[in-house]
Structure 1
Amino acid sequence: MFRYPLHARHPEPLLALRAEIRRRREQGAERIGLIGFSAGGHLAGHAALAPTADLRESVQFAVLGYAITSMETETYRPSRIILLGEDASPDLRRETSLDKLVTAQSPPFFLWHTAEDIYVPPEHTYRLAAALAVHDVPHTVHVFAHGPHSLGLAQGAGDAMAWTMFAASWIAEQIDAPARGTTNSRR
């Protein structure tokens, strides 16, 4: 588990996560997958998608739960303000929107959300899934009918609690699958 800096401006959380990924590589990790929820899902997705020249920072797959994927929408504005500030430029908002960072070399994604999430609407998951599809990036999407924001493992949350079983199976496939090449180092 990695606890990223909260209430910190971009790029501090991304730099902290990349340092942790490099540390894990130096300890011998060959394949690294990230799991994140809500704002943490944005950070995990950003680390998987943002360009980097350092191969040690590459990510082989990502699992995002009810993640904030776009900084260009007005949905869940408080998180955008914490990360980018009140007067973030359109360029900065675009550079930190996951759907704008997807390329054909992006790693596979598992995305899940609930249709009832009023804080981060499922539009965020749909936007990222559409970008992944356009670039032929392998991905899985589950949007459950019921459940509020912040479900985490979703224990006792009806159908949404199945996400952990689906994700475990998907992660096993990613671990056994041949690598898609160097994920985000070619951009």
Structure 2
Amino acid sequence: MKCFTMMLCCGMLAAGTLANGQTVLNLYDGDVPNSKPFQLEETSNTDDNGITRVSGVTVPTLTAYFPDKGEANTGKAVIICPGGGYSILAISHEGHDVAKLLAANGVAAFVLKYRLPKDEIMVDKRIGPLQDAQRAMQVVRERADEWGILADKIGIAGFSAGGHLASTLSTHYAEALIDNPKGTSLRPDFSLLLYPVISMQPGMTHAGSRNNLLGSQPEPEDISLFSNEMRVTADTPPAFLVHAEDDNVVYIANSQAYVEALEQHGVNAKLITYPAGGHGFGLNNKTTADKWLDHFLVWLGNF
């Protein structure tokens, strides 16, 4: 099954076209909220394994992958938040690679290049990434008809710290931190969480992610606010999680705690675990021939 790609920028404004026919569009139509003037250069580096890491994001974007017009289209969509400890974005194997495969299976996918929390560029760095996730959900839902998407079948996905962002949107959608004049629902309809940071609690959290988001000595109320296993309600979206038992970067206790909270509130939750695989394996856990995406697509078919 084929897929085609479009980079979206500048809302409803005219977009520039690259040599390969793609168009580029920023996440926000005008000023980026919660920003401070600061000279920060965005950088992108690709290592010997083909993994591309982006840092210094000040202008967040969405890159959209749609199912080919001549092929099956489920009408469902997923916004993808790459991981990187809230320090960088592992945007290739935890973003674009996943989006391409989802599109090849009839699911529209949007890779979110979100701002990373940094005091120098944000008035309140705690909420910067969440604002971008809320805006991404707002844009996709408001343009669903235009893009052939079902407005009530739009999910959020996240890897590692991106999983924290995805679960934060899933549990903090009710309070809009962006302009929302149409009152568009910012609630994801489901979530996909890969080896996610869920908790900010000592002993469970990923220290680097917590330090980057909340600071080296966070206030107790912030630890509680951003420990998403503590924010689950009966209205929290259903979730599909994947985690390796030997992950010593983000402990599997994060996924287990989130699933337990969801089940306690009667919310559909499924956790796929692997005995090995460590952290950051993206689509392919090299210790097994099993493909978690196959299981996710079956699960998603029930919605």
Q: TM-score range by the shorter chain?
A: 0.7 to 0.9
- Structure 1 residues without counterparts, runs of 5 or longer: 175-187
Post-superposition offset of 1:7 = 4.0
DSSP 3-state at the match of 2:156 = strand
Conserved? CA contact 2:277–2:286, under 8 Å = no
Higher share in helix:
1
Q: Which residue of the partner structure matches residue 109 of structure 1?
A: 239
Q: Which residue of the partner structure matches residue 5 of structure 1?
A: 115
Q: Normalising by the residue count of structure 1, what TM-score does the alignment of the two structures yield?
A: 0.87
Q: 2:224 aligns with which of 86, 89, 94?
A: 94
- Structure 2 residues without counterparts, runs of 5 or longer: 1-110, 119-124, 176-182
Conserved? CA contact 2:242–2:273, under 8 Å = yes
Return the index of the structure with the highest Cα Rg.
Answer: 2
CA deviation string 1:165-184 (max 9, x = no partner)? 1111112222xxxxxxxxxx
Whole-Å separation in 1 of the counterparts to 2:263 and 2:255: 12
Whole-Å separation in 1 of the counterparts to 2:133 and 2:274: 29
Counterparts of 1:9-24 in structure 2, within 5 Å, are: 9-24=125-140
Structure 1 104/6 Cα, relative in aligned 2: closer, same or farther at 3 Å?
Answer: same
In percent, how many aligned pairs have the same letter? 29
DSSP 3-state at the match of 1:56 = coil
Q: Match for 2:160: what amino acid?
A: S
Q: Normalising by the residue count of structure 2, what TM-score does the alignment of the two structures yield?
A: 0.55
Whole-Å separation in 2 of the counterparts to 1:46 and 1:97: 8
Whole-Å separation in 1 of the counterparts to 2:202 and 2:193: 18
Q: 2:248 aligns with which of 98, 118, 136?
A: 118
Q: In the alignment, does 2:193 pair up with 1:64?
A: yes
CA deviation string 1:33-79 (max 9, x = no partner)? 01111000010111011141554211100000000000013342111
DSSP 3-state at the match of 1:57 = coil
* RMSD, aligned CA: 1.5
Post-superposition offset of 1:101 = 0.8
Whole-Å separation in 1 of the counterparts to 2:228 and 2:291: 25
Q: Which residue of the partner structure matches residue 39 of structure 1?
A: 161
DSSP 3-state at the match of 1:2 = strand
Whole-Å separation in 1 of the counterparts to 2:221 and 2:215: 13
